[in-house]
Amino acid sequence: MKVKTWVACVLAVVGALAASGAMVAREATPTDEGKGAAFKSKTFEMKEKAEVAILLSFEASKQVTVTTNGEKETDVHLFIHDKDKKEVGKDTSPGPKCEVKFTPKQDGKFKLLVRNLGPGANKVTLKVKVAE
Identify the CA nearest to 70 among candidates 93, 102, 34, 45.
Answer: 45
Structure-model confidence comparison of residues 24 and 109, the more confident one:
109
Q: Quick one: pLDDT at residue 132?
A: 84
Show me where the domains of the chain are located: 29-130
* Overall average pLDDT of the 31-54 stretch: 95
Phi first, then psi: give them for residue 76, nearest 5 degrees: -110, 135
Q: 40-63: buried (b, 16+ CB within 10 Å) or exposed (e) per residue?
A: eebebebeeebbbbbbbbbeeeee
Confidence of residue 52 (pLDDT cuts 50, 70, 90): very high
CATH of 29-130, one of 2.40.110.10, 1.10.3720.10, 2.60.120.380, 3.40.50.150: 2.60.120.380
Q: How far out from the chain centre does Cα 13 lie?
A: 29
Which residues, 6+ apart, have CB-to-CB distance to 132 below 8 Å? 62
Q: What is d(CA 112, CA 94) in angstroms, rounded to the nearest whole number?
A: 18
What does pLDDT average to over the chain? 86
Q: Is the pLDDT of residue 14 over 90?
A: no
Using DSSP's 3-state secondary structure scheme, residue 15 falls into helix
Q: What span, in angstroms and rounded, lies between the C-alpha atoms of 132 and 130?
A: 6
SS3 71: coil
pTM: 0.79
